[in-house]
Chain A
Amino acid sequence: FLLGGLFMNASFLFNAAPNQGWYGYANLTSRQYSPGLNVDFWNMGLQVLGVASLAAAVNFFVTILNMRAPGMTLMRMPIFVWMTLITQVLLLLAFPVIAVALILLMFDRFFGTHFFVPTGGGDPLLWQHFFWIFGHPEVYILILPAFGIISEVLPVFSRKPLFGYAAMVFSGIFIAFLGFGVWSHHMFTTGMGPIADAAFAVATMLIAIPTGVKIFNWLATLWGGSIRFTVALHYAVGLVALFTIGGLSGIMHASPPVDLQQTDSYFVVAHLHYVLIGANLFPVFAAFYFWLPKMTGRMMSERLGRWSFGVMFLGFNVAFFPMHVTGLLGMPRRIFTYPEGLGWAGVNLTTTIGSFVLAVGILVSLWNLVASLRHGERAGANPWNADGLEWEPASPPPPYGSVSIPTVVSRNPLWDVHDESHDPHGERVLDEDRLTLTTSWLDARPIAVAKMPEDTATPFYLGLALAIGFTAVLLGNLWVTVGAAIASLAITAAWLWPERSRS
Chain B
Amino acid sequence: MSTVAAPPPVILGRDGDRGTTGMLLFILTEAMLFVCLFFSYFYLARDQPRWPMDPPPKLLLASIMLGVLLASSVVLSWGEKQLDAGRVRSARAALGITLLLGAGFLVMQGLEYRDHMRTLLPTSNAYGSIFYTITSFHALHLGLGLLMLLFVLVLPELHARKEPPYRPMQTASLYWHFVDGVWVVIVALLYVWPNLHR
User: Nearest CB to that of B25 among chain A residues?
Assistant: A58
B126–A97 CB distance below 8 A: no
A446–B129 CB distance below 8 A: no
- A283-B146 Cα distance, complex, nearest whole Å: 45
Tally inter-chain residue pairs, CB-CB below 8 A.
164
The 0/1 profile, CB within 8 Å of B marked 1, for residues 469-503 of chain A is 00000000000000000000100010010110100
Q: Which of A106-125 contact B (CB under 8 A)?
A: 107, 111-115, 120-123
- A460-B47 Cα distance, complex, nearest whole Å: 46
A121–B9 CB distance below 8 A: no
Given the complex, which residues of A lie within 8 Å of B165, measured CB to CB?
496, 498
A493–B151 CB distance below 8 A: yes
- A438-B36 Cα distance, complex, nearest whole Å: 34
Measured CB to CB, the closest approach of chain B to A485, in angstroms, equals 10
Measured CB to CB, the closest approach of chain A to B129, in angstroms, equals 4
Measured CB to CB, the closest approach of chain A to B116, in angstroms, equals 16
Once A111-B122, A450-B14, A496-B165 are accepted as A-B contacts, the answer to whether A410 and B6 lie under 8 Å apart by CB is no
Given the complex, which residues of B lie within 8 Å of A92, measured CB to CB?
25, 28-29, 32
Given the complex, which residues of A lie within 8 Å of B115, measured CB to CB?
none
Asked if B81 is an interface residue, CB under 8 A from chain A, the answer is no
Asked if A344 is an interface residue, CB under 8 A from chain B, the answer is no
Asked if A340 is an interface residue, CB under 8 A from chain B, the answer is no
Once A96-B32, A408-B4 are accepted as A-B contacts, the answer to whether A448 and B14 lie under 8 Å apart by CB is yes
Given the complex, which residues of B lie within 8 Å of A101, measured CB to CB?
36
Residues of A within 8 Å of B, CB-based: how many? 60
Asked if A66 is an interface residue, CB under 8 A from chain B, the answer is yes
Measured CB to CB, the closest approach of chain B to A404, in angstroms, equals 9
Measured CB to CB, the closest approach of chain A to B148, in angstroms, equals 9
Once A107-B129, A111-B122 are accepted as A-B contacts, the answer to whether A54 and B14 lie under 8 Å apart by CB is no
B126–A120 CB distance below 8 A: yes
Residues of A whose CB lies within 8 Å of any CB of B are: 54, 57-59, 61-62, 65-67, 70-71, 92-93, 95-97, 99-101, 103-104, 107, 111-115, 120-123, 126, 129-130, 133, 405, 407-410, 418, 427-428, 430, 435, 437-438, 446-451, 453, 489, 493, 496, 498-499, 501
Once A435-B9, A449-B14, A489-B147 are accepted as A-B contacts, the answer to whether A498 and B4 lie under 8 Å apart by CB is no
Residues of B whose CB lies within 8 Å of any CB of A are: 1-9, 12-18, 21-22, 25-26, 28-30, 32-33, 35-37, 39-40, 43-44, 46-48, 53, 122-130, 133, 147, 151, 155-156, 161-165
User: Nearest CB to that of B4 among chain A residues?
Assistant: A71
B2–A122 CB distance below 8 A: no
A437–B9 CB distance below 8 A: yes
A96–B14 CB distance below 8 A: no
Task: Contacts A104-B129, A123-B44, A498-B161 known; list 17 others, CB within 8 Å.
Answer: A58-B25, A61-B21, A61-B25, A62-B25, A92-B25, A93-B29, A95-B29, A107-B129, A114-B126, A115-B40, A123-B47, A126-B44, A130-B40, A447-B17, A450-B164, A496-B165, A498-B163
- A493-B30 Cα distance, complex, nearest whole Å: 20
A66–B44 CB distance below 8 A: no
Given the complex, which residues of B lie within 8 Å of A453, measured CB to CB?
164
Once A130-B36, A446-B12, A448-B12 are accepted as A-B contacts, the answer to whether A409 and B21 lie under 8 Å apart by CB is no
Measured CB to CB, the closest approach of chain A to B2, in angstroms, equals 7
The 5 closest A-B pairs by CB, nearest first: A121-B126, A71-B4, A113-B129, A450-B15, A448-B15
Given the complex, which residues of B lie within 8 Å of A129, measured CB to CB?
39, 43
A66–B1 CB distance below 8 A: no
Given the complex, which residues of A lie within 8 Å of B124, measured CB to CB?
120
User: Nearest CB to that of B31 among chain A residues?
Assistant: A96
Q: A449 is contacted by which of B1, B12, B29 (Cβ under 8 Å)?
A: B12
27 cross-chain CB contacts under 8 A: A57-B25, A58-B25, A61-B25, A100-B36, A101-B36, A104-B40, A107-B122, A111-B123, A120-B125, A122-B44, A126-B40, A407-B3, A408-B4, A409-B1, A409-B2, A427-B8, A435-B9, A437-B6, A438-B15, A438-B17, A446-B12, A448-B16, A448-B17, A449-B14, A450-B15, A498-B155, A498-B165
